[in-house]
Amino acid sequence: MNEAADTSPAQDSAPFRHLHPLSIILKSLSMIGRNIVAVAVLHFSLFDQNIAYTMLAALALVALVTGVTTLIWSRFTYQVTEREIRIKSGLLNRNNRSIPFDRIQDVSLEQKLPHRLLRLATVALETGSGGGEDGQLEALTRSDAEELRDTIRDYKAGRNVDSRRSIEEHATEEAPPLFAMDNRRIFIAGLFNFSFVLLAILGALAQNLDFLLPGDFFDPRNWFNALSNQKIIDGLSFWMRVAGVLGAIFSLIIVGFVSGIIRTFIREYGFRLDRVDSGQAGFRRRRGLFTLTDMVMPIHRVQAAIIQTGPVRQRYGWYHLKFKSLAGDASGETDHSAAPCATGPEIDTILGQCNISPPAEDVEFHPVNPALWWRRAILICFASAALAAVTASAVHPAFSTLLLLAIPVSFILFLNWRQHQYALSDGQLVVRSGWWRRRLTVLPLSKIQTVDVGQTPWDHPLDLATIIIGIAGGSAIAPLTIRAIGLDRASDLRRQLLSRTDSRPTSG
């Protein structure tokens, strides 16, 4: 993003335009929706449930929001020239932003439900400088948004308008997608996306409307005392109490499955992945029930492939393919979903379109040191014992059973260690991790930027190390790591990764 310092006649020839006028209504409704809770709080507190005062406050809020939004809209203009897009914005502090087409790495379209009803779209521009989108044009007509995206992509590919029209005339609109999901496939994906998002929404509402709830509603000791004082519960047999607890757990599981299915349908509805060759070759992904997103992942910006699954999902042959890419979406996320619920052959077909190949069946994976699990298991045992002792004395004696949590947690750590493996094959690094959330990362050696070998105080006595691999577009919070391997082997593996060779690490 550069400050526009000069203007040429070619730039000035294109007029500055406003966003669609309906953006005033959409933006106002969005701001009113975020502040309506404040009006409800005033109604029950300051206004003492006086409906007249509440209506006046609501009208004042609508007038204020609409007026400010109209001013912002009037001061926001954009200009599309042959080589760049310029955006002027700001009420008091004016900002004149110039984004050359050469700097733009990705252009994505987004349509929330109100935008879809009005045939409008939001254009997000990303230059790769970090922090998500670097320019955003809300509420353009769908045709103008697609025209702007095609103009930028054709410029980067060296095509003009006439050549683009020639390509479009020869392209078939009904070309089969590279991958698509019908409602049945989305339902299957939802079964494996267990979520408590509905409970989280109810909890958030309870927190914001806590003035309507009893003062001790969130105190667990009050619930234990209430249950212990109920004669009906005291009169139940032991097995009836066990059945009640199991029924509550089963209800939570059902809520989790329903939440996962609903959440998956909202996000993945109409999922379609196509290969596009106009402009820069890439994968075009469209999905969304209420918010329709239309984005293109350039193939040359794909850094690694991530294949996720689980023990149950893998048993039935379902996998989730993601691409680690330099191109980020509007939220800054660089792990782009390419196939949320796909079979092995479908994933192979998608990977065949880029320079990443799935590992062969006979690839030799190398395990890591078992200290990866037993060191953490010791910590879990001590932590569980301390937590059980504190909560049993301070809250309720039933919490002493928390000590038993150390057994399943330690077993899961053991299974995670069994799953954590790595291999070098066909010029790629392949890393496995996780038992319940299984993750297979396939990284071409040519995409590796840095390789760090680190040791914690726990690693020194056992002569172990952790390899941290940095790639462009990778996350600094959760980078690709290989844990608990010998220090000599780690140094040798680092040398092999940085040499871009296809040799395997020596065993020992």
Predicted confidence at residue 459, as pLDDT, reads 92
Instruction: Label residue 182 left, alpha or beta by phi (over 0 means left) and psi (-120 to 50 means alpha).
Output: beta
Bridge-based pairing state of the strands 428-433 and 106-111: unpaired
Lowest-confidence region among 8-17, 177-186, 432-441, 449-458: 8-17
Q: For residue 414, give both structure tokens.
A: 């053991």
Instruction: Label residue 60 left, alpha or beta by phi (over 0 means left) and psi (-120 to 50 means alpha).
Output: alpha
> Tens digits of per-residue pLDDT, 330-356?
444 567 899 999 999 999 999 989 889
Task: Round the average pLDDT of the chain to a whole number and report it.
Answer: 81
> Tens digits of per-residue pLDDT, 291-319?
999 988 888 888 999 999 999 999 999 99
Which residue type, as a one-letter code, is found at position 222?
Answer: N
State phi, psi for 341 to the nearest 5 degrees: -145, 90
152 vs 208: which has the higher pLDDT:
152
Give the model's confidence band at 2: pLDDT under 50 very low, under 70 low, under 90 confident, else very high: very low
Predicted confidence at residue 215, as pLDDT, reads 54
Give the model's confidence band at 288: pLDDT under 50 very low, under 70 low, under 90 confident, else very high: very high
The whole-angstrom separation of Cα 198 and Cα 214 is 22
Interval 370-375 mean pLDDT: 94
CB 431 within 8 A of CB 480: yes
Predicted confidence at residue 214, as pLDDT, reads 57
259 vs 49: which has the higher pLDDT:
259
Interval 251-271 mean pLDDT: 90
Please give the sequence-ordered ranges of beta strands (E in DSSP) within 51-199, or none if there are none: 77-80, 84-89, 95-100, 106-111, 120-126, 135-141, 179-180
The burial of 382, by beta-carbon neighbours within 10 Å (0-12 exposed, 13-18 middle, 19 or more buried), is given as: exposed
State phi, psi for 483 to the nearest 5 degrees: -100, 155
Residues near 288 by Cβ (< 8 Å), separated by ≥ 6? Answer: 111, 266, 267, 268, 269, 270
The whole-angstrom separation of Cα 367 and Cα 419 is 8
Q: For the packed helices 406-419 and 371-394, what is the interaxial angle rounded to 10 degrees?
A: 160
Predicted confidence at residue 172, as pLDDT, reads 42
Q: H or E segment at 18?
A: strand 17-18
Predicted confidence at residue 1, as pLDDT, reads 40
- pTM for the full predicted model: 0.79
The whole-angstrom separation of Cα 25 and Cα 30 is 9
Interval 229-248 mean pLDDT: 67
State phi, psi for 290 to the nearest 5 degrees: -90, -40
CB atoms within 10 A of CB 389: 14
